[in-house]
């Protein structure tokens, strides 16, 4: 199920999906996650929202990255993932977007349910 929510403290709909998604997933303030990502990006000499920065950031907190299910030739979507994973917290990455899925709900500023996840992170696997 889609839940419309914007973690951005100024309610901006900007290119901050990585920060919004992580703040929602981790139940932390947008500001705190933004600073943490900037520091990790600085440490890696990379941008805060790069895949490498996000991966290192999540790994440092015990998250592991997995390849998203592929039901070729059927198009497997964020909405499908949310339906298939009704329990737990996940961060999904598409080609150009990041969205949290928490207890079967995908949470975003827009309905990204038709996006195709490439991989996802979950804690403690």
Give 43-62 pLDDT, tens digit per residue: 999 999 998 999 999 999 99
99: in domain: yes
Name 19's Cβ contacts closer than 8 Å, sequence gap at least 6. 7, 8, 30, 33, 34, 37, 48, 49
Q: How far apart are CA 32 and CA 38, in angstroms?
A: 10
Name 18's Cβ contacts closer than 8 Å, sequence gap at least 6. 37, 48, 49, 54, 98
Structural domains of the chain, count: 1
Task: Please provide the distance, in angstroms rounded to a whole number, between the alpha carbons at the two ends of the chain.
Answer: 24
5: in domain: no
Q: pLDDT tens digit string along 15-34?
A: 899 999 999 999 999 999 99
Domain hosting 45: range is: 14-123
7: in domain: no
The pTM for the full model equals 0.92
Q: How far apart are CA 67 and CA 45, in angstroms?
A: 26
8: in domain: no
């Amino acid at each position: 199920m889609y839940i419309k929510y914007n973690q951005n403290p100024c309610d901006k709909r900007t290119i901050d999906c990585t920060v919004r998604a992580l703040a929602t997933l981790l139940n932390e303030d947008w500001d705190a996650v933004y600073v943490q990502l900037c520091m990790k990006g600085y440490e890696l000499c990379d941008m805060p929202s790069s895949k490498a920065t996000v991966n290192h950031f999540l790994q440092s907190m015990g998250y592991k990255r997995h390849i998203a299910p592929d039901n070729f030739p059927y198009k497997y979507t964020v909405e499908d993932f949310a339906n298939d994973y009704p329990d737990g917290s996940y961060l999904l990455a598409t080609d150009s977007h990041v969205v949290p899925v928490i207890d079967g709900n995908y949470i975003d500023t827009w309905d990204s349910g038709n996006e195709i996840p490439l991989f996802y992170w979950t804690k403690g696997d």
